[in-house]
Structure 1
Amino acid sequence: MTMPFLRSALRRLSFVPVASFRMWTPAVALLLVTTAAVGQAPAKPADAVKTPDRASSYYHYGLAHLYEEMAVNAGRPDYATQAVEQYKLALDADPNSLLLQDGLADLYFRLGRIREAVQAAQEQVGRNPDDIAAHELLGKVYVRSLGDMQGAQAAEMLKLAIGEYEKLVKLKPKDVEAKLVLGQLYGVDHDSVKAEKQFRAAQGIDSNSEEVVLNMARLYTEEGNPQRAVDVLVGVPETDRTARMEFALAATYDQLKKPKEAAAAYKRSLDMEPDNLDAQKGMASALLLDGQLDEAKKSLDVILAADPQDVQSQIHLSEIQRRQGHYKEALATLEKAKTLAPDNAELSYNEALLYDALGDFPSAIAGLDKLIAASTHPEGNYSEQEKGNRYLFLDREASIYREENKSTEAIAAYKLIVALGGDFTIRGYQGEVDTYRESHQFKEATAVAAEAAKAFPKDKNVQLMYAQQLTDMGKVEEGMALAKAQLTGTTDDRDVHLQLAVMKIRLRQFKEAGAELDIATASAKRPEEKRYITFLRGELYDKSKQYDLAEAEFRKALAADPKDPAILNYLGYMLADRNEKLPEALEMIKTAVELDPQNYAYLDSLGWVYFRMGQNALAEQNLHKAIERSSADATVHDHLGQVYEKTGRLKLAVSQWERAMTEYAQSLPADSDPEDVAKVRHQLDGARVKLAKANVAKEPKQ
């Protein structure tokens, strides 16, 4: 129950022996003291009971100290007994000495005789209510005892500890340490107001104190307000921050899901403490989350050089190797980690991701099945962490089934997610809707969206999902009305206006969509909110054939986040489709694929830009990968058809364009541009004519 700082404070509050005796070993010092006493100690006067004999008191005090040191160093209980007896003799000679009274109480504490220590300290406080040393001893005894108690006993001990430190704060108003300990005790007692008051008082005494800053930040973090914790930590000038401050700042950025900032803070911490492996691990994770794969690998290399058996770092290294397309190395790294932790769930999950990347769907599914089975509770009761893990396993399995066009199996996995409850239920419903839409089962998608809307009548996002589905199914007025019903007249309306803009872009109501984006822009505060609006505005201009304006918006969004794969892909594809700035388009799309190598749309874009650049082999290779990930997208089939035509394989081209026309026919009107459909039909008709002519030419003449 005690907190780290409380434990360190206890060590600092321990009794410090007289410095002059530390120069010799206990045996030698004992001899010297005894000799000095024999030669110099005066005889006790007749009125010794009334008058303190300070020479005799000092003599016994010195012996007590030496016996205490010998008891601690040699572990001899007889020396401990001698130390106590010598303290008592010293007190007999000088019974009113605060130093001796406090020293005896502290000796009891150091020897583990807690009951006697408390009794002695309490007696001392009874005689002298302002005895700081006695209150400190009682305080540290009560604090140390907190960790050994539970329930009512712990609550009572906490109350006693708080009482002692409240007295200490009054007796030592300028003592930073006492205020920090009291603040932490209030925190344990869940009284954040009083805790903050003590920390702020300590801050007023020493604003840049490491312990003050760290305790303030910890309090806000435990209150669930990590942003205030960040504000406290960055309030200290960067040049004055310690390694621990930077580490705490990095960990808080981790909580806020700001990996770039976290990585920078970990780096600053490591600059001061290069051997701190915890900081190195934190930086590696942050860099990995931020997509800085090469830099993350450097950190992992340092960690594994220091600790080759660090399984977590091996898993992260394998993830980097997988994401960079080094699949053999990734497998080898995981196999090495398996020898150390064969039952590690995260390792098994990453292995499934690797098999998915390799296109070995059966192995990926088999691995996920084992994880799902191992995490299943027959009674259906799960902790929040268990729910989170099951969600990851089931969601990934559903995604793989969707890649295999096994919609029935994917739906079954999403239904298990729905059964988890809460927000997981909403995610499961969304997965079902997306799966049905991908497989052109639009009535089923609408039915699930309606079920979700009924189950979560007050959830704005669920209602907007249903509104989108209604609009796509041709019930435009009903869908728009449901979406607008989510408006509340507050800043929370931004998401509603954004969804209305999306719906209107799909309906090709571009002017109205722009108006919705204008309204949303007025309430956008965070950079990610502004970036998303810029992205949508770029999409609006693209769909309305205003390509220069679209490019300007996408470049603005990309300047805000150069590593956003969706922006990179959209802009790169748009440039490739217009046959402009192809080298730049290629680099954008390649970066998007590196960030999300399993995304079929990005693979299609990569194939398309290669085709535009005349690299047909690479174009065909990537388009095949895209179709392996999703075979229901008409655009991908069109692109592959054009590659086949260009390379003289007209029958294969016809087959792909026929498949594209089938997909267009089964798609929602909003998902297909009439111009694209007409273009594919024209290509198909032309190819059929060419094939017919070729067949006629081959027929023997009569």
Structure 2
Amino acid sequence: MEEYRAAIDADPTSEYLVSALAELYAKTGRIRDAVVEAQDLLKKDPNNLEAHKLLSRIYLRSLGDMNAGSGSQSVLKLAIEQQQEILKLQPDSLDDHLLLGRLYRLNNDLQKAEGEFKTAVALQPDSEEAVTTLAYFYNEEGDTTRAAKVLNDVPDSGRSAKLYSALGYTYEQQKNYKGAITAYQKATEIDHDNLDAIRGLAQNLLNDGQNDAALQQYRIVADANPEDAETIVRIADIYRKTGKYDLALENLKKAGSMMQDSLEVPYSMASVYQAQGRYNDAAKVLDDLLKKTEKPDGNYSQGERTNRAVFLERLGTIYRDNNQDQLALDTFRKMLPLGDDSAQRGYQQLIDTYRDEKQWQQATDIAKEASEKLPNDRGLKMVYAAQLADMGQPDQGLQQVKALLKGTPEDREVYITLAQINSRLKRWPDAEQALDKADALSTKPEDKQYVAFLRGSTYERQKKYDQAEQSFRQVISSDPQNAVALNYLGYMLADRGVKLDEAVAMIKKAVALDPANGAYLDSLGWAYFKQGRYGEAEETLTKASQRINSDPTVQDHLGDLYLKTGRLKLAAQHWERALNEWNRTIAAEVDPGDVSRVQKKLETAKVKLAKEEGSDNKQ
């Protein structure tokens, strides 16, 4: 530095020497001196490109070292000013347009950011960096259609692994998982060692329900990087989803040894324990997580509040699955002070718990409380209205929902609720009309699928089985991994004793997608019964009863199974249990024909049992 100073004293007009000294100041951490020297240069020559670049680098480095706040905002503006000056002097610099765009994005000046990224693409249409940066910008703003167009405008011959990965990510955001799979496969063909692309491929295979193929890709990543704990967690998640719980736990323990401070690993372990029916173990893990992350002053960041709500919600469902309903209710109530979204979910879980226990008035009371405490939550208002309809005030409930219509695309959810309420009230024309309006407002494929599913359900309840089957097949054709539609159609076919092999295959697929779902297990057990596979039927129906023991349909199915296998007394007990559960159920959830049918079966069984008992007494 002394030598530079001496040289400058000898030649005070040398911009080169002053610039070199400023650069040296910056490299040695004397930032203030570097800024002063660079600014002095610009006073003498406002078009000194190297001085502008030096100031830009200094401000960018300072931004990286600062926390968010007013200071960082002022430095951001200084960095933007220098980049603007640089581009005046070299307007065709692709890298500088991209950098200025990123700075605008950081400053939340989205229109200017987009302009810089588009300029970069226009300057060099085949630039991988420019094209992917613009695409990711559109993705961040939720405009996946424009992101896909930017990427697809690049000819196939000019597409790199990075570009294909960006396209895969874009399709994933659109829930076009097959398109994402194809794009990520192209990326891995170009760059076999690109682990990020392999991860993207694995995730989208998983999204598409191709569990085995996803597992294979994740194993490639794990073999290449055995210390990649996140990938091991993903492998464990696949094992959990496919019911291989021991392998899931083995991998989670391995990941936990690498990520000892991880919250995700113990949370995932609790999910496995819950699926295994090890409710006490699951509850302990989550209780420990809550204690570990608890702050005595209750001063949580937004992320910490979100985590606590997730932990509490899972713990509450574990208690509910274990028939510890009061503990479940107490746990869900702890979600209410954690913020609007957490409170909304907490209220919904409270309502669901009361409904599961057939405590209809309590469910209605808590729905009313929720709609009053969170008056801006339209969803909770509709839940309360539906409760009123179930409790014998249908017109009031429907009127409250109709009052939420605004003549905008947001009306879709309102029409869906109107359809559901009218269907439960058996007002079929009104239900179908509401579905027509919801369908007209549905723009996404998954939204169309959901309306088609509800239409199928409405037809099935009217015993319009051919139309119902057509609607369900439409859903499954669009989404072969739709477990709800697979189960509904499979059960509908099995219950009528038609296409039994196909019915079993569909329900098995639903169970594979959600192994712990009691309703799916009931469907599978009933389909086995219809095929005469009584041993498998008993095993599966018993599992279903353990999951949803207050469901009258499961008890009815068990009764029929025990009758068929010569255990009349057990059959009568389960039919009686079914009738008791129906007696505790609101009218909207009861088919009078089912009740009458079971009542007759029970009466016949009681007469036969009485005769058998009388015969035994005579002997």
TM-score, length basis structure 1: 0.81
Q: Structure 1 residue 438: deviation in Å?
A: 1.3
Q: Structure 1 residue 368: deviation in Å?
A: 1.8
- Structure 1 residue 584 corresponds to structure 2 residue 502: yes
Q: Structure 1 residue 264: deviation in Å?
A: 4.4
Give the direction of change, closer, same or farther, for the CA distance of 1:445–1:159 in structure 2 (3 Å limit). Answer: closer
CA deviations on 1:619-672 (whole Å, 9 max, x unpaired) are 111111111111111000111111111111111111111111111111111111
| Rounded Cα–Cα distance in structure 1 between residues aligned with 2:352 and 2:191 | 48
Taking the TM superposition and a 5 Å limit, the aligned residue runs for 1:556-635 are 556-635=474-553
Structure 2 residue identity aligned to 1:314: I
- Structure 1 residue 140 corresponds to structure 2 residue 57: yes
Q: Which residue of 2 aligns with 1:370?
A: 288
Deviates more, 1:441-450 or 1:405-414: 405-414
Q: Structure 1 residue 131: deviation in Å?
A: 4.0
Taking the TM superposition and a 5 Å limit, the aligned residue runs for 1:31-180 are 125-149=42-66, 154-180=72-98
Instruction: Determine which of 378, 382, 393 is the counterpart of 2:300.
Output: 382
Instruction: Determine which of 217, 220, 230 is the counterpart of 1:302.
Output: 220
Instruction: Determine which of 295, 316, 325 is the counterpart of 2:243.
Output: 325
Q: Which residue of 2 aligns with 1:697?
A: 615
Contact preservation (8 Å) 1:106, 1:117: yes
Q: Secondary structure at the match of 2:443?
A: coil
- Structure 1 residue 395 corresponds to structure 2 residue 313: yes
Contact preservation (8 Å) 1:575, 1:585: yes
Corresponding residue pairs, total: 618
Q: Which residue of 2 aligns with 1:15?
A: none
Q: Which residue of 2 aligns with 1:501?
A: 419
Q: Which residue of 2 aligns with 1:642?
A: 560
- Structure 1 residue 479 corresponds to structure 2 residue 397: yes
| Rounded Cα–Cα distance in structure 2 between residues aligned with 1:191 and 1:637 | 61
Percent sequence identity over aligned pairs: 43
| Rounded Cα–Cα distance in structure 2 between residues aligned with 1:696 and 1:234 | 82
Give the direction of change, closer, same or farther, for the CA distance of 1:529–1:186 in structure 2 (3 Å limit). Answer: closer
| Rounded Cα–Cα distance in structure 2 between residues aligned with 1:253 and 1:87 | 59
Q: Which residue of 2 aligns with 1:10?
A: none
Instruction: Determine which of 324, 330, 346 is the counterpart of 1:406.
Output: 324
Q: Structure 1 residue 452: deviation in Å?
A: 1.3
Q: Structure 1 residue 321: deviation in Å?
A: 1.4
| Rounded Cα–Cα distance in structure 2 between residues aligned with 1:101 and 1:575 | 85
Contact preservation (8 Å) 2:340, 2:374: no
- Structure 1 residue 291 corresponds to structure 2 residue 219: no
Deviates more, 1:370-379 or 1:415-424: 370-379
| Rounded Cα–Cα distance in structure 1 between residues aligned with 2:28 and 2:339 | 54
Structure 1 residue identity aligned to 2:130: V
Q: Which residue of 2 aligns with 1:531?
A: 449
Q: Structure 1 residue 515: deviation in Å?
A: 1.6
Deviates more, 1:343-352 or 1:255-264: 255-264
Q: Structure 1 residue 361: deviation in Å?
A: 1.6
Taking the TM superposition and a 5 Å limit, the aligned residue runs for 1:341-352 are 341-352=259-270
- Structure 1 residue 441 corresponds to structure 2 residue 359: yes
| Rounded Cα–Cα distance in structure 1 between residues aligned with 2:89 and 2:553 | 78
Q: Which residue of 2 aligns with 1:209?
A: 127
Structure 2 residue identity aligned to 1:364: A
Q: Structure 1 residue 404: deviation in Å?
A: 2.3
| Rounded Cα–Cα distance in structure 2 between residues aligned with 1:434 and 1:219 | 40
Contact preservation (8 Å) 1:405, 1:631: no
Contact preservation (8 Å) 1:604, 1:626: yes
Give the direction of change, closer, same or farther, for the CA distance of 1:549–1:403 in structure 2 (3 Å limit). Answer: same
Contact preservation (8 Å) 1:192, 1:219: no
| Rounded Cα–Cα distance in structure 2 between residues aligned with 1:119 and 1:513 | 73
Q: Which residue of 2 aligns with 1:360?
A: 278
Q: Structure 1 residue 210: deviation in Å?
A: 2.1
Q: Which runs of 5+ in 2 are unaligned?
A: none
Q: Which has the larger radius of gyration?
A: 1
Compute the RMSD of aligned alpha carbons: 3.0
Structure 1 residue identity aligned to 2:373: A
Q: Which residue of 1 aligns with 2:571?
A: 653
Contact preservation (8 Å) 2:344, 2:380: yes
Structure 2 residue identity aligned to 1:164: Q
Structure 2 residue identity aligned to 1:275: D
| Rounded Cα–Cα distance in structure 1 between residues aligned with 2:72 and 2:602 | 80
CA deviations on 1:206-240 (whole Å, 9 max, x unpaired) are 23322222332444455566665455444444543
Structure 1 residue identity aligned to 2:403: A
Structure 2 residue identity aligned to 1:591: K
CA deviations on 1:272-323 (whole Å, 9 max, x unpaired) are 3322323333433343344321122112211221222322222222221122
TM-score, length basis structure 2: 0.91
| Rounded Cα–Cα distance in structure 2 between residues aligned with 1:390 and 1:470 | 31
| Rounded Cα–Cα distance in structure 2 between residues aligned with 1:609 and 1:248 | 44
Taking the TM superposition and a 5 Å limit, the aligned residue runs for 1:181-192 are 181-192=99-110
Q: Which residue of 1 aligns with 2:339?
A: 421
Structure 1 residue identity aligned to 2:424: R
Contact preservation (8 Å) 1:87, 1:104: no
Q: Structure 1 residue 343: deviation in Å?
A: 4.5
Q: Which residue of 2 aligns with 1:672?
A: 590
Give the direction of change, closer, same or farther, for the CA distance of 1:85–1:379 in structure 2 (3 Å limit). Answer: closer
Structure 2 residue identity aligned to 1:529: D
Structure 1 residue identity aligned to 2:270: A
- Structure 1 residue 686 corresponds to structure 2 residue 609: no
Contact preservation (8 Å) 2:8, 2:14: no
| Rounded Cα–Cα distance in structure 2 between residues aligned with 1:465 and 1:382 | 29
Q: Structure 1 residue 494: deviation in Å?
A: 1.9
